[in-house]
Amino acid sequence: MKTVLITGTSSGYGRATAVHFHAQGWNVIATMRTPRTGVLPESDRLRVVGLDVTEPASITAALEAAGPIDVLVNNAGVPSIGVFEGTSMAHAREVFETNTFGVMATTQAVLPQFRERGSGVVVNVTSSVVLGHMPLTAVYKASKMAIEGFTSSLALELAPFGVWAKTVQPGACLTTNFSARATHDTAPDELVPAPYAPWAKKVMDSFTAQEQFTKETDVAEAVWRAVHDTTGQLRFPAGPDAVWLAQAK
C-alpha cells in the first residue's frame, strides 16, 4: 500500500486531495501548520501531522513521523491579492517563504529517500495565474512561476533515478478561503491604493462574471492523474477555467 504526504490539508485543495487518496486506498500523511481534528476522515490509513514548511526543524520532524513515503504533494501556500504598489516587501517575503522556499525545502528533504529507492513522485501545486495575464496577483504569481521553473529543471535532474516531478495548476475556486486569507489583516487602501480603485473594481467584476470555475475535487483528481502519469507530462491544469487557459496559450 502506497503512502502520500500532502502539505496544507486543513482546508481547500489539500483537504480534498487527502480525502481522494484515502478513498483510493492509500495511506495518507495529512500535514497542517496547526493540526486540527474533525476536518478529515478518522482512519488507521490517515494520520494528521504538524508541519510548518517555513521551519527546517518542523520539516525534519514531520518526515521522521511520516516514515517512508511514495509521493510528496506540496500544496501548502499563502495567497496574495492586491496592487503591487500597495504590497509591503514584508508581505512579499512571507509569500515567497511558504510558496517558494517552503516547497523547495520540503522537496529537498524527501529527495534522498526517493533517489536511493529509485522511485517517487513530487507534485507541486501552483496556480492557473501562471497560465494567463492576471492582474492583482503580481507577488503571488511570481512565487508560483518560480516553482514552475524549479519543477521543470528538477524533473530533468530526477529522471535518471526513476523519480518524477510534476506541477498541478488549479483554476479559480470560489469555495476555498483564498480571498479571505489573502486580505486578512490588510487595510483596503493598502490592497488597492486609491488611484487604482476604479480599474481594480473592473478587474474584480470581470473575474466574478466568468462562467467557469474550479472545484476542490478537480484539483484532487488532477493530482491523482499527475501521480500516476508515466508519459512524461510535466504540467496538469486543474479545473475547466485552467484547462481553457492552458489550451489558449
- 162 in helix, strand or coil? coil
Confirm whether 140 is a catalytic residue. Answer: yes
> Of 208, 195, 205, 172, whose CA–CA distance to 83 is shortest?
195
Distance CA 172, CA 239 (A): 8
Q: Give me the catalytic one of 114, 140, 196, 224.
A: 140
The three grid cell numbers given for residue 218, joined into one nine-digit string: 478537480
Residue partners of 188: CB distance under 8 A and separation at least 6: none
Distance CA 160, CA 243 (A): 30
Distance CA 232, CA 140 (A): 27
Contact 218, 183 (CB under 8 A): no
Between the alpha carbon of residue 201 and those of residues 57, 88, 185, the distances in Å are: 43, 21, 20
H or E segment and range at residue 190? helix 188-191
Between the alpha carbon of residue 121 and those of residues 50, 52, 82, 161, 245, the distances in Å are: 21, 21, 34, 11, 25
Residues forming the active site: 140
